[in-house]
Amino acid sequence: MQQEFSGRVAFININVNNPEEQALCIQYQIQYIPTTYLLNAKGEATFDYIGAISQSAMRSKLEALAGGT
């Protein structure tokens, strides 16, 4: 979906096995994989989900985040 939302949403992947990214794991309390957070332009979490999320549900959440709906 990165291409579909290019220029409207920034995607950031956190590698939980990378010591350099442990601060983000702690900040967002990532304990399970996958964990999804959506942040607004102010950096505030507007949605979080632990586990696999369907493509249609993710698209809906991203559209709302990007101001499309």
Which pTM does this prediction carry? Answer: 0.81
pLDDT at 68 (0 to 100): 62
pLDDT at 67 (0 to 100): 86
Give pLDDT tens digits along the chain (69 positions).
999 999 999 999 999 999 999 999 999 999 999 999 999 989 899 999 999 999 999 999 999 999 865
- When the candidates are 3.40.50.720, 3.40.50.2030, 1.10.8.50, 3.40.30.10, the CATH number that belongs to 1-69 is 3.40.30.10
pLDDT at 61 (0 to 100): 95
pLDDT at 41 (0 to 100): 87
Domain ranges of the chain: 1-69
Task: Classify the C-alpha dihedral 8-14-19-23 as positive or negative.
Answer: positive
